[in-house]
Amino acid sequence: MYKLEYLPSSLVDILEIEDYLFKIDPSVADKFAEAIQNQMESLTEHPFMYQIYEDNIYFRSMPLPYSYRMFYHVDEMSSTIKVHRILHGMRNLKRLL
């Protein structure tokens, strides 16, 4: 099983997303957090299940609820999944990665 490492940029992303969703509807923010938790559990067992991001092959891209995407890299040497960013699909992803 792989371990997860959240880089500071991804932690900022998560806080901003949850704050934004909470302002819309607290239950939506809770559902988003729960969905991320569930998907991370499966990702640690199957880190290669998501495709390489075509615009930057360093990353794999995992879809999340509400049109968000998580960008991560699998470090096979350390058996670590490094979570770099969690971004909304409508943002300029090329520029932000």
* pLDDT beyond 90 at 78: yes
The secondary structure of residue 66, as a DSSP letter, is: G
The pLDDT of residue 89 is: 85
The secondary structure of residue 27, as a DSSP letter, is: H
Q: Give residue-wise pLDDT tens across range 80-97.
A: 999 999 999 888 888 888
Domains held by the chain: number:
1
Residue type, 58: Y
The pLDDT of residue 40 is: 86
Domain of residue 41 covers: 3-96
**Cα torsion 55, 59, 61, 66: sign:** negative
**Cα torsion 14, 86, 65, 21: sign:** positive
- CA 96 to chain CA centroid, nearest Å: 14
Bridge partners of 73? 82
Q: Give residue-wise pLDDT tens across range 10-53.
A: 999 999 999 999 999 999 988 888 888 888 888 999 999 999 99
Residue type, 55: D
- CATH code at position 22: 3.30.2310.20
